[in-house]
Amino acid sequence: ERHARVDTGGYASVDNVTQAPEKGPVKRIDKMESFWLGETLKYLYLLFSDDPSLLPAECFVFNTEAHPLPVMPGGSSSGLRRCVERVASENVEAIATQRGL
């Protein structure tokens, strides 16, 4: 926050993270890494979404590129189906309210 945030809003990459701030201003680079949008923000959206039907955390895990992978209790897809159905039934009122039903 202190070193990467820019005055105009947003963030920049830091050129050398090992440079001590006492030795002068931190050099910033005007470059956005592709993983920032493709992975980091997707993780944040999926983890902090209030939509219980989006991707239930009990039924999916994320790999290092933020792709959801199903957790298959008992090693079968029917275990995944039961997990998703359970989460949906526990949250049916919240899901209906979010969709205006």
Supply the pLDDT for residue 4. Answer: 83
Supply the pLDDT for residue 100. Answer: 80
Task: Report residue 58 as tokens.
Answer: 């009990």
Confidence of residue 52 (pLDDT cuts 50, 70, 90): low
Query: What's the full length of the chain, in residues?
Result: 101
Average pLDDT estimate for 92-98? 76
Reported in sequence order, the residue ranges of 1-101 that DSSP labels E, i.e. its strands, are 13-14, 28-29, 60-62, 68-70
Average pLDDT estimate for 63-78? 79
Average pLDDT estimate for 44-48? 81
Q: Which residues have CB under 8 Å from 69's CB, separation 6+?
A: 60, 61, 62, 63
Supply the pLDDT for residue 39. Answer: 81
